[in-house]
Structure 1
Amino acid sequence: MKFRKSLAVACVALLTSTAASHAFEINFTWDGLKLCTTGKPNRVSNPAFAVRNVPAGTKYIRFKLVDRDVPSYNHGGGVVAYSGQKVIKPGAFKYKSPCPPSGQHTYEWRATAQSKKNGGAIAKTAKARKYP
C-alpha cells in the first residue's frame, strides 16, 4: 500500500512539473527605455517580447502594463496578431511608460493569448519587473 501511495504521489508531481514546464511565457527587458520618475509617463513603443509555449489556437496576444503599486492607473498596451513568431518586435503598439513619481514601483506586463482579436482568452501569463 505504501508503494502505491508513493507511486501515485510521484506521478502527480511528474504531471504537475511537466504541465508547468509548458506554460505560456513572456520575457522582456527595460533596456533602452528612457528613465522617468516625474509621474508623467512618455508614450513609447513596446519592448521586444520573447514568447514561449504559446497555446495552440492563438491568433492574437493582448499585452497590458500594470503598475502593481497603483493598479488603477491605465498604462495601456496593445493587441498583436500572432502567427508563430518567437519575438514580438518593438513598435507593435504604444503604451505609457513606467514613470513613478518617486521611488521605485513594481510593474507587470500581462499577456493574454486569444483566439479572436477582441476576446476568446486561451491563457494568461505575467512577468513582474522593478523599475527603475
Structure 2
Amino acid sequence: MVSKIIVACCLLAVAGCQSTTVAENATQLTVEFDWQGISACSSVSPEIRIANVPAETRFVDIQMVDLDFRTFNHGGGTIAYSGHGIIEKGALPTYAGPCPPGGITHRYEFTVHALNEDKTLILGHGKSSATFPPVR
C-alpha cells in the first residue's frame, strides 16, 4: 500500500512540473500600452493592445518588470485570450502597478506570451516599455 502511495505522489509531482516551450514558428507580437488613467501604486493594470496574435492562442501571459529596479515583482498574470487584441484595463490578477519613489521616473516593460490551450507552448511573444510617470 505504501509503495502505491509513493508511486501516485511521484506521478502527481511529475505532472505538476509542466514546462513551457517556444514554438519553432513563434510570431513576434506587437504590444502597446500607455499609462493614461493609471495612478501611481495602483493595482489596476492598464489596457494592453496586442497584434499579430496566432489564431491558436487561448491564453496570454503578461508580466511587468521595472527596468530600473528589477528585484521588485510587479506580477501580471495568465488570462484567457478573447481574440480581439485588447487586454482590458484591470484584467491582470496579480499586478502591482508602477510606484517609483517621489520625483523619480522609472522604465517599465510588459512582456506578453501567447499560449496554446494547455499553456505548454509559446505561440508568440512581444514586449513594450514606457516611463512612469509619463514624460510630458
Return the structure number with greater helix share.
Answer: 1
Give the aligned partner of residue 79 of structure 2: 80
Structure 2 residue 36 is matched with structure 1 residue 31: yes
TM-score by length of 2: 0.69
Instruction: Specify the code of the residue in structure 2 equivalent to 1:78.
Output: G
Give the aligned partner of residue 115 of structure 1: 116
> CA 1:116 to 1:74, structure 2 compared with 1: closer, same or farther past 3 Å?
farther
The 8 Å contact of residues 107 and 130 in structure 1, kept in 2 or not, is answered as: yes
Instruction: Specify the code of the residue in structure 2 equivalent to 1:67.
Output: D
The Cα RMSD (Å) is 1.8
Alpha-carbon distance between aligned partners in 1 of 2:129 and 2:61, rounded to the nearest angstrom: 16
Deviation above 3 Å: which 4+ runs of structure 1?
116-119
Alpha-carbon distance between aligned partners in 1 of 2:63 and 2:75, rounded to the nearest angstrom: 6
Alpha-carbon distance between aligned partners in 2 of 1:117 and 1:48, rounded to the nearest angstrom: 25
User: Which aligned pairs between 1:8-19 and structure 2 lie closer than 5 A?
Assistant: none
User: Which aligned pairs between 1:1-132 and structure 2 lie closer than 5 A?
Assistant: 23-34=28-39, 36=40, 41-42=41-42, 44-94=43-93, 95-102=95-102, 103-116=104-117, 118-132=119-133
Structure 1 residue runs of 5 or longer lacking an equivalent are 1-21
TM-score by length of 1: 0.71
Q: For residues 74-99 of structure 1, what are the alpha-carbon distances to aligned partners after superposition, in whole Å with 9 as ceiling and x for unaligned?
A: 00001121131121112322411101
